[in-house]
């Protein structure tokens, strides 16, 4: 990727896309093209085709997706499959048709089997059954990354993918029913003073990565001449949900009582990704969970005060 390249960031208003735009600008990439949902519906194949055919994009970064936590995913696997599949097929296939030479596709480590070996290597892909709570999302993301791999092999296009672990950071979605666990916990501890209800047993283990670390991994892989088809991106720090709850409680200064609602699912028992591939190539995460949590609580309060909090 060259500094003068015309770079399309799909999903620039989301937590991931906005972090990527910040990182691009900070690193001297000024020629960034974005479209709001109203300007370009990525589910509309003809519109996406028209966009790529008329814009002469050099590099596309696909950070647009319907995302949500365990509640949103398990209640709407069909919608998560349909929308994410359409976004992946349209943004990747139409880019190839228009001759876009370079593309980075973003997924999530939920593409890996529920009982994958831990830490999960890239080679665990498609070796056994997926986690049911997010099967629709995972299948769509697997299609996207496979499409990139096939186009690279069959058409010689440098299309490649990154699979980040659970992300958090500024601009996250704080919806209590549909959000991911970390932002949801921040909102619960900030707003529920006496008692906070947590989901599941707290025994599931997760790994969290600050979105600015993911953005740096995106640039790192795009600046490589010949990146691997698929690379995991994680922090290597694994904690139980119970430990996360304590950490968020501390970061927010809450004194609320904890109540566990065990009728809610734990989801996949463990999801620590093996990052030895990307680390062996020279990238590693910089933001610890403690530092990232403090920054994110601060960002939450600022977003709330300025009326920009996404819920």
Closest contact distance (angstroms) between CB of 103 and ligand GFB is 21
CB closer to ligand GFB, 108 vs 221: 108
Give, for 81, the enclosing helix (H) or strand (E). Answer: helix 77-97
CB closer to ligand GFB, 134 vs 275: 134
CB closer to ligand GFB, 24 vs 138: 138
CB closer to ligand GFB, 48 vs 232: 232
State the Cα–Cα distance between residues 5 and 21, nearest whole angstrom: 14
Q: Given 29, 137, 174, 300, which residue is catalytic?
A: 137
State the Cα–Cα distance between residues 87 and 197, nearest whole angstrom: 35
Closest contact distance (angstroms) between CB of 228 and ligand GFB is 21
Residue 152, C-beta contacts closer than 8 angstroms, at least 6 positions apart? 158, 159, 160, 229
Question: First vs last Cα of the chain: how many Å apart?
Answer: 35
> Which candidate, 221, 206, 214, places its Cα nearest to that of 272?
206
Output the six-digit token pair for 133. Answer: 């709570």
Q: Answer yes or no: 137 catalytic.
A: yes
Closest contact distance (angstroms) between CB of 179 and ligand GFB is 6
Closest contact distance (angstroms) between CB of 88 and ligand GFB is 14
What is the CA 107 to chain-centroid distance, rounded? Answer: 6
Which chain residues interact with ligand GFB by CB under 6 A?
69-71, 73, 108, 110, 133-134, 137, 166, 180-181, 184, 198-200, 204, 206, 241, 264-268
> Which candidate, 245, 153, 146, places its Cα nearest to that of 200?
245
Closest contact distance (angstroms) between CB of 234 and ligand GFB is 11
CB closer to ligand GFB, 12 vs 188: 188
CB closer to ligand GFB, 134 vs 285: 134
Residue 208, C-beta contacts closer than 8 angstroms, at least 6 positions apart? 165, 166, 167, 168, 182, 235, 237, 239, 244, 289, 292
Q: Which residues pair with 126 in a beta bridge?
A: none
> Which candidate, 9, 303, 7, 37, places its Cα nearest to that of 169?
303
The size of the chain, in residues, is 311
Contact 126, 133 (CB under 8 A): no
Closest contact distance (angstroms) between CB of 203 and ligand GFB is 8
Q: Which residues are catalytic?
A: 137
């Amino acid at each position: 990727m060259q500094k003068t390249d015309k770079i399309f960031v799909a999903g620039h208003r989301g937590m991931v896309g906005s972090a990527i735009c910040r990182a691009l600008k900070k690193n001297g990439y000024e020629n960034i093209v974005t479209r709001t949902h109203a300007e370009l519906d990525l589910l509309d194949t003809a519109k996406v085709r028209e966009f790529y055919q008329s814009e002469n994009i050099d590099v596309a970064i696909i950070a647009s997706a319907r995302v949500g936590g365990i509640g949103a995913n398990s209640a709407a696997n069909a919608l998560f499959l349909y929308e994410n599949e359409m976004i992946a097929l349209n943004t990747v296939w139409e880019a190839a048709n228009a001759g876009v030479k370079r593309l980075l596709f973003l997924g999530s480590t939920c593409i890996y089997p529920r009982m994958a070996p831990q830490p999960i290597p890239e080679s665990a892909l498609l070796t056994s059954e997926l986690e049911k709570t997010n099967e629709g999302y995972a299948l769509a993301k697997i299609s996207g990354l496979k499409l990139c791999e096939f186009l690279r092999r069959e058409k010689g296009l440098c299309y490649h993918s990154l699979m980040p672990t659970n992300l958090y950071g500024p601009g996250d979605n704080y919806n209590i029913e549909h959000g991911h666990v970390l932002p949801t916990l921040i909102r619960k501890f900030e707003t529920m003073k006496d008692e906070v209800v947590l989901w599941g047993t707290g025994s599931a283990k997760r790994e969290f990565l600050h979105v600015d670390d993911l953005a740096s991994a995106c640039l790192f892989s795009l600046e490589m001449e010949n990146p691997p088809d698929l690379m995991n991106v994680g922090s290597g720090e694994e904690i139980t949900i119970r430990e996360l709850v304590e950490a968020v409680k501390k970061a927010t200064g809450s004194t609320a009582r904890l109540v566990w609602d065990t009728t809610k699912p734990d989801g996949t028992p463990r999801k620590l990704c093996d990052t030895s591939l990307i680390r062996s190539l020279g990238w590693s995460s910089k933001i610890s969970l403690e530092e990232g949590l403090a920054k994110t609580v601060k960002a939450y309060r600022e977003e709330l005060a300025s009326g920009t909090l996404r819920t």
